[in-house]
Amino acid sequence: MSSTVTRTRLAAVAAAASIVVVAGCSSPGTTDKAAKGSCEPAKGKVVLQYWNTVPGMDKVVALWNKKNPDIQVQTKNISTDQYGLIGNALKAGKAPDLAQVGYDELPSLRTQNAFVDASGCKEATEAKSKFVPWTWSQASFGDTGVFAMPQDTGPMALFVRSDIFKQHGIAIPKTWDEYQAAAQKLHKADPNLDITFFDPNNAEWFNGLLWQNKADMYSYSGDKWHVTVDSAQSKQVAEYWQKMISDKLVRTDLANGSTQMYAAFEKNQIASYVGAAWGYSMFRDNLPKQAGKWSIVPMPTWGSNGSSGDWGGSTVAFMKGGKHLYESVKFNTWLTSDPEALAMENKLGGLYPAANDGLKLPALSEGVPYYNNEKIFDVFADSSKKIDTNFAWGPTQKTVNLSLQDAMAKAAAGSGTLSDALAAAQASALKSMKDQAIPATAGK
């Protein structure tokens, strides 16, 4: 989405994080909760309900309606309370045929029996090849069915004020070690200058950093969830950022997308930003005077590990109670993979497509004036190819994220550490699953 606030919320999911995202492996117990729907076409005209949070989606739907008089779609924007409205509709038995759901929310809604499996529709199963592999794995729960179509993603990269780095004679960092060294040099050259900020109230962003380091938070085997939120890989990420915080090399008083964040950038107090593809418009729209000063480069890596992470993104899910699955599949496939639809969604709503054809859109292959006419989307496309397909979200991710944020905020304030935050999130994951009678254990 074009709005930073909207995209960040989606990341809670960008979902956001998008990043997110759905479990890459699934539980036989939860699989049974999504019955395979009938794929018989309706007789006569059909009207579908589609709920979403994307600016301009009404215009995209109007294009479909003009071309498909027998399958009409009514759209409703639910950005004010996305999951509250979806949850209430499910409880009342009045869920729409289709709804936008962040990748990281899919497992939680699945435990609530929210979806119908569309794999009985040939067009749904054949759609797999249309999408970036890791997104399909997320939305299909590891190919156990077709519960949603991937819509957009948030592959991560590093946004840099190239003029500031050049001014101080510092090379653009390619690894996290180089990033830390650059942070020290920048701060030494100008005590009012920090390389970036760490937002302790943004678990989705932090999850993207964990994802990059192959810090799998969950897996499923032996009829139970295995919780590894505080794995060695996670602790490596936490300890890195804890040192950056302790050494006062990053600010912790800025919230992503806030007025204060933009003010700090405007005053040349922040030299880089670890962000996602959907964030490219943030700087363009909010810092117009800095046009030509920003570049987007690959996310710093952990040594020779060239993996990237995802922050935000969402799917279009087949909701339980929908009466027209055949028609829903047709519309959903068009919405998430047709080049004309994707071009409109990118232009109007800022969506970075999950479909392979979407990555070939003319708008994504051209130089972007704000960024020195650099082909910034080539960087995001390459990042997307390097995202680990095995990463999974747990069925109580929202609860875990809140616990993580609470403990990260304390660590940023000097009470405890980010490693302690991981331990708290691990305990929260296990407790929340136990409270819902979901079999789970610590460790792989």
Q: Is the pLDDT of residue 77 over 70?
A: yes
Contact by Cβ (8 Å): 17, 313: yes
For 375, counting Cβ atoms within 10 Å of its Cβ (0-12 exposed, 13-18 middle, 19+ buried), the class is middle
The predicted model gives 410-434 an average pLDDT of: 96
CATH numbers and ranges of domains, the chain: 4-154+310-372 (3.40.190.10), 156-309+392-442 (3.40.190.10)
Q: Which of 210, 211, 275 is nearest to 237 (CA)?
A: 210
Residue 221 pLDDT grade (very low, low, confident, very high; cuts 50, 70, 90): confident
Tokens describing residue 107: 């497992």
Q: Is the pLDDT of residue 37 over 90?
A: no
Tokens describing residue 299: 């996310």
Q: Which of 441, 11, 12, 13 is nearest to 229 (CA)?
A: 441
Q: Is the pLDDT of residue 127 over 60?
A: yes
Which pLDDT value is given to residue 34?
58
Q: Is the pLDDT of residue 161 over 90?
A: yes
pLDDT tens per residue, range 199-210: 999 999 999 999
The predicted model gives 403-421 an average pLDDT of: 96
pLDDT tens per residue, range 162-211: 999 999 999 999 999 999 999 999 999 999 999 999 999 999 999 999 99
Which pLDDT value is given to residue 151?
97
Distance CA 256, CA 299 (A): 18
Distance CA 197, CA 270 (A): 8
pLDDT tens per residue, range 3-34: 333 333 333 333 322 223 333 333 333 434 45
Which pLDDT value is given to residue 220?
86
324-353 burial by CB neighbour count: b if 16+ within 10 A, else e?
A: bbbbbbbbbbbbbbbeebbbbbbebbbbbb
**What element of type H or E holds 318?**
strand 310-318
The predicted model gives 381-404 an average pLDDT of: 90
Residue 106 pLDDT grade (very low, low, confident, very high; cuts 50, 70, 90): very high
CB count, 10 Å around CB of 319?
Answer: 25
DSSP states of 171-215: PPPSBHHHHHHHHHHHHHH-TT-BSEE--TT-HHHHHHHHHHTT-
Greater confidence (318 vs 36) lies with 318
DSSP states of 389-406: TT----TTHHHHHHHHHH
Distance CA 436, CA 432 (A): 6
| Mean pLDDT computed over every residue of the chain | 90
Helix, coil or strand: residue 259: helix
**What element of type H or E holds 4?**
helix 4-11
Tokens describing residue 79: 């950005």
